[in-house]
Structure formats: structure tokens, C-alpha cells
Chains A and B, each alone.
Chain A
Amino acid sequence: MIRHINKHKNHITAISGILIALGFIFGLSGYKDLKGIVLIAATAIAATPIVIKAFQAIRMKVFSIELLVTLAVIGALYIGEYIESSVVTFLFLFGDYLEARTLEKTRSSLKSLIDMAPQEATVIREGRKVTVPVEEVVKDDRVIIRSGGKVPVDGRIISGKASLNEASVTGEPVPAFKKVDDKVFSGTIIDNGYIEIEAEKVGDDTTFARIIELVEEAQESKSKAEKFLDKFAEIYTPAVVVLSVIVYAVTRNLHLAITFLVIACPGALVIGAPVSNVAGIGNGAKNGVLIKGGEVMDKLSRVHTIVFDKTGTLTKGKPEVTDIKTLKSYNANELLRLSAEAETISEHHLGHTIIKEAKAKKLNIKGEGVSGEVVKGHGIIARVEGHMLAIGNRKLMDEQNISISDEASDYALNREKKGNTAIFAAIDGEVAGIISIADRIREDAKMALAEMKNNGVRRIVMLTGDNKHTAGLVADELGLDEFHGELLPEDKVEFIKRLKSKGRIVAMAGDGINDAPAIATADIGLAMGEGGTDVSMETADLVLMADKLMQFSHAYSLSKATIRNMKQNIFFAVAVVFVLLSGVLSGYVNLASGMFIHEASVLVVILNAMRLIGFNSKSIREERNYKMSADDYK
């Protein structure tokens, strides 16, 4: 029976609404008695679900808003105010309906994420392909995913290749290309291709499941303002109830006392701040930024100084070949191919970088039949396809008695000034070319930093363990306010502590392992270079799923917008409380209009918060545009 009534709450609301309208028509046409009967009927119908909830709560010995409304309605019926009793019950139900609909919208960002969760998986069991619910996939299962299919669990590709839409995890709209040994995430979708993966993380352990859990928890974690409002509401409601008793005792005016009961529902006050947060955090999650709760949102919006680590944070953290200069008859690709072939005997990371570049250019590196030796700290000497190769720094050339022309020397110096490591490649005793390698600055770093500065960040500082020369080059390029090189992890912690002692709110972005202490010390910690790994998701206050500085900038603008939105809501809600209280006391607000203002104010704060769902900061737009044009170029 009760379930039945709850199920048809919307119908009940509609019927009581119609009856009220009917009552007014009767009233206008002069059928006073009929009007009374219809309105009592409307009250009875609409009050049923409210009274049931009130009763259920009383049985459990807990107080509820429904109880207040029930008391108010009984009182109104007792003094013969049928219009008010029916309108109050109707508005209470109708408000509930509208709130459910609109709240759903503010929660839609998270819901659309949850809806991306995979349902089933095709796995190979005992040599046969079977489709099972995703919960039944276990670790080490071999899972097959076809074009258009969803990756059901986190895993490693063991055969095939595909381009994957990873927006559900990283917020990145551009597909990522993945091949054997690459990791794929649950919830991502294969755009094109076919892969077989080995399940590594299943069920609640997948990155996707954990994102959802983190976002859910973040949306609940309250900021100071919210906690204050909760406290306020806790006092406000009983206080108004007591007030209504006093009003009755003093004035003997039951009508006024009942009106007090109705406005005691703290609606907009309690919901105003959380809806802004929920919508803001939801927006972040959709764009690949996890903001861990209202407190982080608040601090982020007030950040004074942002401290960045250099390697892997402002730069890509992976050295790349930035230029190949040829000096003799060999063309760039041929020079690169021979050098890479020679470097196959090397363990040095610069050697690996050269090989990687050659492979990226689809040059055929066999790595066979190469003999040679590594000259520690200088480079390598190797015999490749009948040629003698010497690849390394100036000292290696000197040692091998290979002369460096002025042209080559000038060029190398010039590259070094720009932050590169210049590597000489000599073939058969002559310098044939110079390969420049550098850890490049992230493409979006300059734009993101400028934008954050523009939006209100006061100082941007770089701290690095790298030498001052390289640090200076990066700082110049990005136009930083301050930089310090040759620092140890504990120096960075000291630096942040000093800033904090000056009363500044500090955000620290660094790599998750050696910067972990500094990240933990800062007011807001952000781990880069490993977006979405367990460590960074657990400990950081802010997680960038796609490791993009533009996402950081978006998070910053978003936090400002969210806090602004929350302040508007709080201000509005408090104003409504005063309007209602003074309105009731001065007799301008009666039961029905009190309920109307109450419900309307709740809707207003929800609608205001909904604006945040579509908040699309410049950073995200520019990032998209940039991607688009980059794609055109391909």
C-alpha cells in the first residue's frame, strides 16, 4: 500500500493540483461549499504521502520535515484555512518533484560517467569465446574487444592494435592509438581496431571504478562554508519551531504559529552550497580533472602561488630528438639509422632516445652484427655495415682524433644554449652530423601558465633538482616569476613551508615520487607525469587524468566559478530566510506563499548551480581547437 502511494506520488501531485484549480473555479462561481469540499479532498490526497513519511520517521523516533508540514496542515484544517492546507501540501509535493528533476541534472555529469561503465565482456575460457557479465571477469583472463566495443577491465594488450576513445577516463576527446604492451582502461571505447588484452585490474579496482568512487566521495566532502551552513540549519529549524510555540503562547494566534512551522524547513540554506559543489566537481570529472571535495575547491580558488617541478611537470620528462643537422653527404634519415644501429650496444638513455626516434620514423633497426665499445661518459664507438661510427660528446671526438669544423662547433654551441644536448655523430673519421636531444617543454605549458596568471594566480615558481643553466632556459621560455635550481626534495619542502608561513595559499605540482613530500606539504597537491595511477589518485588533492597542464588551468577557472556560484547561493538562501521571517512577522507572508517562496528558493539555487555543468573554460576550448587544427595538419 505504502509503496503503491509512493510510486504514484507524481499522479497524486497532479490530481491535487487539478482539484485545487477546480476549487478556485467553484469559489469564483460562488459555490462556497463545493469549494471547501474539493479543497479538503485535495489536502487529503496530497497529504497522504507526507503523513506516511512523517509517521515512518516517528516510528523510528527521528524528527522530519514531513512532521512539521503535517502539523501545519492539521492546524490549518482545524482553523478552516482549506486553501492554505491544500496549497501547502501540493507545493510540498510539487517542489519535491521539481527538485528531483533538476537535481538529477546537477548530478548528470557523474551519471553520464557511470553510464559509460561496461556491462559485459567477451573472454576466452577453455579455448572458447564466451560473453560474461563484467563482474565475472577475473585477473589474467584473456579478453577480446572489437571495434565499437567497450574495454571491460584494465589490462595490457597482448595482441592487436586499436585507436581508443579514452574520454571516460582522461577527458581527452581525441582517440589514442594503442598497440601490444600498452595499457588500456576499463570504460574506454575502441574507435577502430581489434585487441586482445590480459586482465590486470577487475571490478572495483579498475581506474574507472575508482574515479567514480573518488568523485562520489569528493562531492560529499564538505567545505567549511557548507559545514557552517549545516550547523546553522540544525539550529535554525528547532529555533523556528520553538519560536512558533512562543508566538502561539503570546499571541494565541494559531494561524501565525502554523505559518512559522512551514517556513522552518531550511531548504535552500542546506542545499545551496552542496549543489554548486556537486555540479562543479561533476564538470571537472567530465573534463578529466578530479577535484577532491569542497575544501579543495575552495582553496584552489584562492591559490596565491603555484610551485612547479621542472622535469616531467613543465617538461615532458622524456628526452626527444629535437633536431638532426647533417654536415656531409649522408641525409638525416640515413644518419639517424646508422647512429641508432650503433646505439643498440649502448645502455645510455640518450642512446635509447636516438633509437626511439629512428623507430618512430619507421627506419629499420636490426640491432644485429654491430660490434663496438662504450666509452664511459663520452659515447660509443661501433662498426656498422662496414663503417666506423663514433657517437658522443666533444671529448669523444678529441679522443678519436676527429676534427670538429668551426661550423659544427658553432652550431653545437648554439643548440646547447637553447637547452639541448648536442651529440656528434662521426662516420669513418669525419663528423657527419649533430643530433640534438632535449627534454621538451610541454606544448600546453606556456598557454596554461599564462592563462592561470591571467585568471588570478599571483606567482608561478619553478623548483628543480636540475642545473641552474637548464632551469633558467625553461623559466625564460615560460616567463616564470621565480626559479631555483639544484634543489633536493627537502629543499622544496622548506621552500613551500616558508611560503605558507607568509600566509600564502600554495599549490604544488610535481612528479608523484620524489616530489611527494613537497606535494603533501602544499595546501593543494597535484601529481603529474602519471595521471591516474594509484598513488596520485589516492594522495593528491587534484588529479589530472590526461596529464595536461591545460586541465590544471581549467580546474583553476572552474574552482573560481564554483565558489562564486556557491557564494551567490548562500547569499540568496540567507536573504530568503530573512525575507520569510520578517514577512511572516509583519503578516505579509501566509502559509501558502511561505511554502511557495520556500520551494521557489530551492529551485533557484539548483538552477543557478546547473550553470556550472556547462562551464567551459577557455582552457578546455582552446585545447580542443588546438587538437582539431593539429589533426587537420596530419
Chain B
Amino acid sequence: MKKAEFQLETVTCPSCIKKIESTLNKTEGVDSAKVLFSSSKVKAEFDESKISAEKIKEVISNLGYSVLSSKIS
């Protein structure tokens, strides 16, 4: 299980949180995903044998939110 933190561009609408969280939580291999609204960050725990951090980043970008930086631990 790995943890990733993505810094997004400023998230403004509260509905974006729902959108990103529910999409990620449906994604295969993502164990849990949380959007930190006030700091515009996404924290996700994922199974690296099923999905890569790069792939998660892609999912977020595909939703229309550009990822500025990411940190994996």
C-alpha cells in the first residue's frame, strides 16, 4: 500500500470534491482517496501492484483538474 499526494490547481467548487473523490474511489487499485478542499490537494492510498501513481494522476487530469505536483511515499 502506497500513499500519494497530488497538488492540484486551486479547486473552487465544493462539488469538484465529490466528483474527484467518487471517481477515484471507484478506480480499481485505489484504496481510499480524499480531497483536501482548502489546500487543493488529493491524498490517496493505493495498491501499487494494481495501479501506478502516474495512472491516478491521469484519472484526475481526465476529470479536468491539472495536477501541479505529486509526492509519493
Residues of A at under 8 Å CB distance from B?
2-3, 6, 52-53, 56-57, 59-65, 96, 99-100, 103-104, 106-107, 110, 216-217, 219-220, 233, 265-267, 270-271, 274, 278
Contacts and interface: CB of A to CB of B under 8 A. Distances in A.
Interface of B: 10, 12-15, 18-19, 22-23, 26, 34, 36-39, 41, 59, 62-64, 66
Given A56-B64, A219-B39, A274-B37, A65 B26 contact: no
A6 B64 contact: yes
Nearest to B73: A204
A219 B12 contact: no
B14 A270 contact: yes
Contacts of A107: 38-39
Given A216-B36, A219-B36, 14 more contacts: A6-B64, A53-B63, A53-B64, A57-B19, A62-B26, A64-B15, A99-B13, A100-B10, A106-B38, A110-B38, A267-B13, A270-B14, A270-B15, A271-B14
A62 B10 contact: no
A53 B63 CA distance: 7
A57 B59 CA distance: 11
A62 B23 contact: yes
16 contacts: A2-B64, A3-B66, A60-B23, A60-B62, A61-B26, A62-B23, A96-B13, A100-B10, A103-B10, A103-B12, A107-B38, A220-B34, A233-B14, A266-B14, A267-B14, A274-B14
A100 B12 contact: yes
A103 B10 CA distance: 9
B64 A219 contact: no
A62 B14 CA distance: 14
Contact of A216 (B38, B59, B63): B38
Contacts, number: 70
A604 to B, nearest CB: 15
Q: Which of B13, B39, B41 has the most CB of A within 10 A?
A: B13
A56 B60 CA distance: 10
Contacts of A57: 19, 23, 63-64
A2 B59 CA distance: 15
Contacts of A270: 14-15
Nearest to A229: B14
A322 to B, nearest CB: 47
A110 B23 CA distance: 28
Nearest to B39: A216
B13 A65 contact: yes
Given A65-B15, A99-B13, A216 B41 contact: yes
Given A56-B63, A274-B37, A278-B38, A99 B23 contact: no
Contact of A265 (B15, B26, B37, B38): B15
Q: Which 7 A-B pairs give the minimum distances between C-beta atoms?
A: A270-B14, A219-B38, A278-B38, A65-B15, A60-B23, A99-B12, A100-B12
A233 B22 CA distance: 16
Contacts of A110: 38-39
B13 A274 contact: no
B25 to A, nearest CB: 10
B12 A96 contact: yes
A66 to B, nearest CB: 9
Contacts of B22: 62
A374 to B, nearest CB: 53
Contacts of A56: 62-64
Contacts of B36: 216-217, 219-220
A64 B10 contact: no
Q: Which of B14, B18, B34, B62 has the most CB of A within 10 A?
A: B14
B29 to A, nearest CB: 15
Contacts of B26: 60-62
Nearest to A216: B39
Given A6-B66, A56-B63, A220 B38 contact: yes
Nearest to A265: B15
A265 B22 CA distance: 18
A52 B41 CA distance: 22
A265 B15 CA distance: 9
Contact of A64 (B19, B39, B41): B19
A360 B19 CA distance: 61
A60 B38 CA distance: 24
Nearest to A111: B39
Contact of A104 (B10, B18, B23, B66): B10
Contacts of A278: 38
Nearest to B63: A56
Contacts of B10: 100, 103-104
